[in-house]
Amino acid sequence: MSVTHVELPASSHIHPPPDTFIKKYVFSLDHKVIAIQYFITAGLFLVFAGLLAELMRVQLMGPNNHVLSVAVFNQAYSLHGTAMVWLVGIPIVTGAFGNLIMPVQIGARDVAFPWLNMLSFWMLPVAGILVFASLLFGAPQAGWTEYPPVSLQLPLGESLSLWCAGVFVIGVSSTITGLNFLVTIVKMRAPGMTYTRMPLFVWATGVTAFLSMIATANLSAALAGLFIQHNFGVPFYDVTRGGAPVLWQHVFWFYSHPAVYILILPAFGIVSEVIPTFVRRPIFGYKAIAYSSAAIGLLSFMVWAHHMFTSGLQHWEQLFFMLLTMVIAVPTGIKIFSWVTTLWRGKIRLDSPLLFVLGFLSTFTLGGITGVMLASVPADAQEHASYFVVAHIHYVLFGGTIFGIFAGLYYWWPKMTGRMLDERLGKWHFWLMYIFFNLTFLPMHWAGLMGMPRRVATYDPMFAGTNLFVSISSFVLAASILIFIYNAYRSARYGEPAGPNPWGARTLEWMIPSPMPYYNFRDVPIVLSGPYDYGKPLPYANISQDLAMTPVR
Amino acid sequence: MKLEQREPLLDSGFWRAVAVMTVISIVLMVGVVVFPVEKYLPEAANISKPIDDLFKFCAFFGAPIFVFINGFLLYFSIRYRRRPDEPIDAVGSEIHEHHGLEVTWTIIPSLLMIVLAVLSYLVIPMYYPTNQAFASAVTLEAIGHKFYYEFRYPGLKQSVMNELHLPIGVPVTVDLTSAEDEQDVHNGAVIHSFWVPEFRVKQDMIPGIVIPIHFTPSEIGMYRIVCSEFCGLGHSHMWGKVIVQTRAEFDAWYADQQRAAASPIAAPLSLAGGNPSAGQTIFNAKCTVCHNAAPFAQRKVGPGLAQLFDDPDHPDLVTGKKATPDNVADILEHGAHGDMGVMPNMQANGLTPKDVADLVAYLRTLR
Ligand code: HEM
Ligand SMILES: [Cu+2]
C-alpha cells in the first residue's frame, strides 16, 4: 500500500507532553483529558439532580404527602431542572462529547484555543458549587425558568444571587466553548476535509457551537437583570415601577429555545455516527441530515415565544410563532426518516450503542409529535404548564438527549478508555431504562391533559393512582443507571482491551490507537472522501493503515 | 451488490410489514376519531370541542407516523440483522439517497403543518376576542391573589372569592389580571394562571396587564379552576371552582349576593359554641396550605399556630393586637397583611361565621 507522506506545515509544532500530575490531569490543556473531566463532573451533578428528582417522586407518591415541606419540594424541582439543563445536559453534549470526538474527527490535534478550553471546563465546577450552594440559603423555588416576580420573592437572602451567578458562569463557559469549537471546525480541518466530508457529529457540533455562541449572551443579559433587580432594586421586571415581568420570559426563551437544540443537536450527531457503524452501510441522506441541522439552528431563533402562548401575545405573534414552530418540526422529521431508512437493507449488529439509538428514535419521535401538539396555540391552552409539558420535555431530553448520551458513551467508551464495556450489562441497562422510562413518563401526558398542573407538591386525589405508578417506575428507572456505573467499574478492572477500532468504524477517531495518544495524530491525515462508504477502501491517506484495518470485533 | 440485483429492492416481507403497520395505524386513527373525550373530561364550554378536535388532528396524523417509525425500527433491525453465518465484515446496501422519497417526506409533513396552523388560527378568535364583537357578552373581572381567585361581577358591589358562578349558554368575557394592590417586593403581585381543564381555557394572570378571554359555558356542573403558573408557597393548593348553573339558579344566586351587599353590617361574629373537633377538620382542609399546627417557628407561608394564645416570644398577632380569641377571629374574618405575606379573608377562605367560631375553639386547644 503506497501512502503519500506529507510534511507537517512548518508552523505546526508539538508541545512536549505535560510532565506533572497537575498539568496532566487537573489543569490539562488536552481536549481528551478535558472531555473526561467534563464527564466526571457532570456525571456527579447528574447523580445529585437525579436524587432530587427521586425525592420529588417520593413526595408525589400520594396526594397530601408530607415527606417534604412545600418549600423543600419547590427547591428540589428548581435545582433538578437547573442542574439537568446547565450542569449535566449542555456540558456533557458539548464539553464532554464535543471535546472528546470533534477535534479527532476533523483530523486536528486539539481545539483552536486549548487554554480557553481549560477555562471553560473549570467554570463548570464553579457554577455547580454556586448553584448547589444556594441550597444552604434555601434555594430558589420558581423552577429552572425562575420567572419573576415570584422568583424575586421566595428565596429570602442570598440564594437567588448564587443561582444567578452559577447559571451566569456556566453560560459564559458555554459561550466560550461555542467560540472555541466553531473556530476549530472552520480553521483546523485536515487537508481534504471539505464541509461535505465532515462526519455528521461535527456538523451537529458546529451548529451547536454557533447556537451557544450567539444565544447564550441573552441568558446572561436576563440573569444580569434578575441579579441587579434582586440586589440593587433596578426594576427591570417590576410592573409597578415601569418594568415588565414578561420581559424576562422573552429574553429567557430567546436563549432557552435555542438551548433545547444545544441539548439535542449533538445527540443527533451521535445517532448519525452510531447508525452507519452498526448498520454497515452509508448513512441515508447525508446532506439532508447535515443541512437540516443548519436549518434547525437558524429556525430555533424564531420560535421562542411558543413557550409564552398564554402570556398574552398579540394574535399575529401567536400565528407567527405557531407557524415557525411547526416548520421546525419538518427538518427534525427529515432526520428521523433518514435514520430509519438507513436501517433498511443494512447488516445490522444490535450492540448496545445501536440499542440506545433505537430507543432514542422510538421515544424522541413521540416527543416530536407532542411538540407539534404544543405548537398549536389553542391546543396548547390545555397543555401548557401542565404535566403534559413535563412529559414532552422528558421525551425529548431524557428519551432524546440522555439516550443519545448513553449511546455515545457505549460507542466511544473503548476509544476513551481503551477497554470494552460488558455487552450483556449494556443490554440490561438499555432494556430496563427503555421500559421504565416509558412507564415513568407516558402516563404524565394523561395526567396533564386531565388537569394536573406542573410544579405542585400535592394534587387532586383523582391523580393518585397515576402518580403512584409513575413514582414506582421512576425508582426502577433511576436504578437502571447503577448498571452503567457498575459496568464502567467492571470495565476499568477487567475490561478486555479494545484495540483501535473494535466496531470497524470509518471516522478518523478510529484510525488511531485507543486510548487516543497525546496529540492524536503522528502525521496529519489527508481526507479523500466522505466517512460512511462501508465496503469501499478507507478514504484517508497518511494514516497508519495497519491500525485502521483491525477487523470488526 | 449481486444480491440486490437478484431480488426486488422492496421484497414481500417489506410489504407484509407495511400491511401490518397500516392496519395498526388505521385502528389507532379510527380510535382517535371515535375516542369519547367527554367521558373522561367534560367538554363544558363552546371552545372545548374545537380545541379537542385540534388535538385529535395531531393525534390522528401523529399515530401513523409513530407506528411507522417504530414499526420500521423493529422490522428492519430484526429482518436485516447480520446472521451468524455471514462474513464479519459484510456490508449493507449502498443506496444512500432517493430524491423522490426525500421530497415526499419533506412536502407531506410541511403540508400537514400548514393545515394544522390554519385550523388552529381559525380557533384562536373563538377565545381571544379580536374586536368589539364580544361587547354583547357579559364581562367579568378575575383577579389572581396569593393564593385564591377574586371575581368581580358588573353590578355587584362585593367580590366573590374562589367560586365563579356562570349561567349556561351565556357568552362571557373574563378580564384576567393579577392583584395590583399587593405591591411591595416580598409580597408583590405575581403571575398566576386561570385554568379550567373542563373548559380547555387557560390564561396567565399577569400583574399590570389585563388579558380578556372569551367563552360560553355549555354544560351544567361544577368544575375545577387550577393555577398552573407557579406563584409561591401556596401554588399547589390554589384551586377554585366554576359553577355552571341554569339561568334561574344563577339569577337566584346573583340576587342573594346583591341582598348580602345591601345589608352591609353583618351581625358581629359570635364565638360562642365553637366546636374544636369541627374546627380541626376545617383547619386541616383549609389552613394547612399555609400554616402548621406547630410552634411559631415552623412556618409555611405564615407562622405555625400551635402556641397562638400563649407564646411568650410572640405575645402580639401580626395585626399588632394582643393574642385574644376576638382578635384572632378578626384576622380570620378580615385577613391580614404582614411581613410573611397576605392572609386571605373569610370569604376568600370560604369560611362561614360558624367555621370561624369552630376554628378559634380548635386553635385554643393547641399547645
Ligand atoms: C418537533 C420539535 C419540537 C416542537 C414542535 C416543540 C414544541 C414545544 C412547545 C410549543 C413547547 C412549549 C409548551 C408550553 O410551555 O406550553 C415546548 C416546551 C419544551 N420543549 Fe419542545 N418542541 C420540540 C422539540 C424539543 C426538543 C428537541 C427539545 C430538547 C431537547 C425540547 C425541549 C423542550 C423543553 C425543555 C420545554 C419546556 C420548557 C419549560 O417550560 O420548562 N423540545 N416544546
Ligand atoms: Cu421551545
Q: How confident is the model at residue B364 (pLDDT cuts 50, 70, 90)?
A: confident
pLDDT of residue B312: 79
Is residue B3 one of the residues assigned to a domain?
Answer: no
Same domain, B109 and B166: no
Whether residue A76 lies within 8 A of chain B, CB to CB, comes out as no
Residue listed under C-alpha cell 480553521: A187
What is d(CA B131, CA B148) in angstroms, rounded to the nearest whole number?
30
Q: What cell does B304 get? A: 405555625
Please write the tens of the pLDDT for every residue from A373-410: 999 999 999 999 999 999 999 999 999 999 999 999 99
| The pLDDT of residue A549 is above 70 | no
In this structure, the answer to whether residues B142 and B197 fall within a common structural domain is yes
Q: Letter for the amino acid at A173?
A: S
Residue ranges of alpha helices (H) inside A397-495 are 403-417, 423-449, 464-494
Amino acid at A389: V
Q: Which of B73, B106, B123 sits opposite A334 (nearest CB)?
A: B106
* A396, A405, A455: residue to mutate for ligand 1 pocket, most atoms within 8 A of CB: A396
Residue A482 in grid coordinates: 447503577
**What is the Cα gyration radius of chain A?**
23
- When the pLDDT of each residue in chain B is averaged and rounded to a whole number, the result is 86
Residue B25 CA to ligand 2 center (angstroms) comes to 29
Per-residue pLDDT at A4 = 44
Which residues make beta-bridge pairs with B139?
A: B173
Asked if A154's CB is within 8 angstroms of B97's CB, the reply is no
- Pair (B111, B167) in one structural domain: no
- Statement to judge: residues B183 and B245 lie in one domain: yes
d(Cα B331, Cα B319) in Å, to the nearest integer? 8
Residues in Cβ contact with A177 at an 8 Å cutoff, skipping those fewer than 6 apart: A94, A95, A98, A117, A120, A209, A212
DSSP string across A499-512: -S-TT---SGGGGS
pLDDT at position B267, please? 60
Overall domain count for chain B: 3
Q: How far is the CA of A305 from the centre of ligand 2 (A)?
A: 8
CATH classification at residue B115: 1.10.287
Distance between CA A545 and CA B327 in Å, rounded?
A: 90
Distances (CA, A) of B137 to A267, B134, B175: 51, 5, 12
Residue A272 Cα, gap to closest chain B Cα (Å): 13
Does residue B122 share a domain with residue B22? yes
User: In this structure, are residues A89 and A50 in contact, taking their beta carbons and an 8 Å threshold?
Assistant: no
Co-location of B254 and B284 in the same domain: no
* A392 C-beta closer than 6 A to ligand 1: yes
d(CA B283, ligand 2 centre) in Å = 42
What pLDDT score does B86 carry?
87
Q: What is the pLDDT of residues A12-44, one digit of tens each?
A: 556 778 888 888 889 999 999 999 999 999 999
> Is residue B206 one of the residues assigned to a domain?
yes
Structural domain range at position B318: 276-365
Query: Which amino acid type is present at position B316?
Result: D
Model confidence pLDDT, tens digit, residues B147-179: 889 999 988 888 888 899 999 999 999 999 998
Cβ A149–B113 below 8 Å, yes or no?
A: no
Edge-first strand order for the sheet with B160-161 is B160-161, B148-152, B138-145, B172-178, B211-215
Phi, psi values for residue B158, rounded to 5°: -95, 155
Helix spans in B92-211 (H): 99-127
Query: Across residues A296-314, what is the average pLDDT?
Result: 93
B254 and B142 in a single domain? The answer is yes
Instruction: Enter the C-alpha cell of residue B251.
Output: 339569577
User: Is B116 in the same domain as B164?
Assistant: no
CA distance B358 to B277: 8
Q: How buried is A170 (Cβ within 10 angstroms: 0-12 exposed, 13-18 middle, 19+ buried)?
A: buried
Is B270 among the domain residues?
no
Look up residue B301 and give its three cell numbers: 407561608
B61 and B119: one domain?
yes
Mention every residue, 6+ apart, whose C-beta is less than 8 A from residue B360. B271, B274, B279, B325, B328, B329, B332
Residues 6+ apart with CB under 8 A from A498: A414, A415, A417, A418, A419, A420, A514
pLDDT at B43: 96
Task: Map out the domains of chain A with their CATH numbers.
Answer: 26-548 (1.20.210.10)
Render B246-294 in DSSP notation, one character per residue. -HHHHHHHHHHHHHHHHS-SPPPP--TT--HHHHHHHIIIIITTT--SS
Strand order in B221-226's β-sheet?
Answer: B163-167, B239-245, B221-226, B192-196, B201-205
The ligand 1 atom at the shortest distance from the C-alpha of residue A264 is: 30
Q: Look at residue B40 in the predicted model and tell me its pLDDT.
A: 95
Q: Is the CB of A303 inside 8 Å of chain B's CB atoms?
A: no
* Residue A2: per-residue pLDDT: 38
pLDDT of residue B280: 86
Please spell the DSSP secondary structure of B177-218, one letter per residue: EE-SS--STTT----EEEEETTTTEEEEE-TT--EEEEE-B-
Task: Count the helices and strands in chain A (H runs, E runs).
Answer: 19, 2
As residues whose CB is below 5 A from the ion ligand 2, the structure lists: A 257
Task: Assess whether pLDDT exceeds 70 at residue A155.
Answer: no
Asked whether A33 lines ligand 1 (CB < 6 A), one says: no
**pLDDT band of B7, cuts 50, 70, 90:** low
Residue B298 lies in a domain: yes
Nearest CA in chain B to A323: B117
Q: What is the mean pLDDT of residues A338-358?
A: 95
- Among A68, A96, A65, smallest CA distance to A80 is for A68
CB-neighbour burial class of residue A540 (10 A; exposed 0-12, middle 13-18, buried 19+): buried
Q: Which helix (H) or strand (E) holds A337?
A: helix A315-343
In contact, B303 and B295? CB cutoff 8 Å: no
Pairing state of beta strands B172-178 and B211-215?
antiparallel
Contact B113 A329 (CB under 8 A): yes
Question: Closest Cα of chain B to A240: distance in Å?
Answer: 7
Same structural domain, B73 and B167: no
Q: Does A545 touch chain B (CB under 8 A)?
A: no
**Percent of chain A topping pLDDT 90:** 83
Q: Do B123 and A153 touch (CB under 8 A)?
A: no
Pairwise CA distance, residues B95 & B91, whole Å:
12
Q: What is the CATH number of the domain that holds B145?
A: 2.60.40.420
Q: How many CB atoms lie within 10 A of CB B130?
A: 11
* Radius of gyration of chain B from its Cα atoms, rounded to whole angstroms: 30
Q: Answer yes or no: do B208 and A154 touch at CB < 8 A.
A: no
pLDDT for residue B355:
85
Confidence of residue A5 (pLDDT cuts 50, 70, 90): very low
What is the pTM assigned to this prediction?
0.91
Query: Could you tell me if A88 and A42 are in contact, meaning their C-beta atoms sit under 8 angstroms apart?
Result: yes
The bridge status of strand B201-205 relative to strand B192-196 is antiparallel
Q: Is residue B100 part of a domain?
A: yes
| A243 Cα to the center of ligand 1, angstroms | 27
Is the CB of A249 within 6 Å of ligand 1?
A: no
Is B103 a domain residue? Answer: yes
**What per-residue confidence (pLDDT) applies to B338?**
67
Read off the pLDDT of each residue in B121-131 and give the average, rounded to a whole number: 80
Chain B residues within an 8 Å CB radius of A329: 109, 113
Indicate whether residue A368 lines ligand 1 (CB < 6 A): yes
B121 φ, ψ (degrees, to nearest 5): -65, -30
d(CA A407, CA A271): 8
Residue A11: count other Cβ atoms within 10 Å of its Cβ.
5
B152/B258 same-domain check: yes
Lowest mean pLDDT among A164-173, A305-314, B73-82, B274-283: B274-283
- A residues 322-381 lying closer than 8 A (beta carbon) to B: 322-323, 326-327, 329-330, 333-334, 336-338, 340-350, 354, 358, 361-362, 365-366, 369, 372-373, 376-379, 381
CA distance A130 to A128: 5
- Is residue B89, in this structure, part of any structural domain at all? no
- Closest by alpha carbon to A155, among A141, A169, A144? A141
| Preferred mutation among B236, B284, B298 to probe A, highest tally of A CBs within 10 A | B236
A552 chain-B contacts, CB cut-off 8 A: 88-89
- Angle separating helix axes A403-417 and A352-375, nearest 10 degrees: 150
The verdict on A439 touching B (C-beta cutoff 8 Å) is: no
Question: Which residue stretches of A65-199 are H helix?
Answer: 70-82, 90, 97-105, 114-133, 150-153, 159-187
The answer to whether the CB of A348 falls within 8 A of the CB of A354 is yes
Here the cell at position A11 is: 508552523
- In terms of Cβ atoms closer than 10 Å to its own Cβ (0-12, 13-18, 19+), residue A232 is exposed
Instruction: Answer whether A383 contacts ligand 1 (Cβ < 6 A).
Output: yes
**Percent of chain B predicted with pLDDT > 70:** 90
Å from CA of A144 to ligand 2 middle: 14
Closest residue (by CA) to atom 14 of ligand 1?
A: A384
Query: What tens digit of pLDDT does each residue of A504-518 get?
Result: 999 999 999 999 998
Query: Distance, in angstroms, between A242 CA and closest chain B CA?
Result: 10
Higher pLDDT, B284 or A7: B284
> Is position B16 within any domain?
yes
Asked whether A371 lines ligand 1 (CB < 6 A), one says yes
Going by C-beta distance under 8 Å and a sequence separation of 6 or more, which residues neighbour residue B220?
B168, B244, B245, B246
Please, what sign has the CA dihedral across residues B274, B277, B283, B285? negative
Chain A contact set for B184 (CB, 8 A): none
Q: Please give the residue of chain B at the shortest CA–CA distance from A308.
A: B204
Q: Looking at beta carbons, which residues of chain A come within 8 Å of B127?
A: 378, 381
Residues A75 and A135 sit within 8 Å (Cβ to Cβ)? yes
Nearest CA to ligand 1 atom 20: A393
Cα A392 to averaged position of ligand 2 atoms, centre (Å):
11
**What is the predicted pLDDT for the residue at A535?**
87
- Of the residues A307, A327, A373, A445, which should be mutated to test ligand 1's pocket, given the most ligand atoms within 8 Å of the CB? A307
Q: Look at B188 and A153 and tell me if their CB atoms are within 8 Å.
A: yes
Using the structure block, give the residue that is written with the C-alpha cell 440506545.
A356
Q: Cβ–Cβ of A239/B204 closer than 8 Å?
A: no
How big is the CA angle at A46 (ends A40 and A52), to the nearest 5 degrees? 145
pLDDT of residue A1: 35
Q: What is the pLDDT of residue B275?
A: 87
Mean pLDDT confidence for A287-307: 95
Any B CB within 8 A of A529 CB: no
Question: Residues B175-204: pLDDT tens digits?
Answer: 999 986 554 556 688 999 999 999 999 999
CA-CA distance, B250 to B268, in Å (whole number)?
Answer: 29
Of B93, B102, B229, nearest to A281 by CB-CB distance is B93
Residue with cell 431524557: A398
Residue B290: which CATH number?
A: 1.10.760.10
Shortest-distance ligand to the CA of residue A393: 1
Dist CA B161 CA A400 (whole Å): 44
Look at B301 and A473; give whichever has higher pLDDT. A473
The number of C-beta contacts closer than 8 angstroms across A and B is 278
* Cβ atoms within 10 Å of B233's Cβ, excluding its own: 26
A248 has a pLDDT exceeding 60: yes
> Are B361 and B294 in a shared domain?
yes
Distance (Å) from the alpha carbon of A83 to chain B's nearest alpha carbon: 19
Of B262, B296, B311, the position where a domain reaches its end is B262
Question: How do beta strands B172-178 and B138-145 pair?
Answer: parallel
b or e along A83-110 (b: 16 or more beta carbons within 10 Å of the residue's beta carbon)? bbbbbbbbbbbbbbbbbbbbbbbbbbbb
Q: What does the mean pLDDT of chain A come to?
A: 93
Q: Looking at beta carbons, which pairs linking B183-186 to residues 24 or more positions away fall under 8 Å? A: B183/A240, B185/A152, B185/A153, B185/A233, B186/A153, B186/A156, B186/B339, B186/B341
**CA of A400, closest atom in ligand 1:** 30
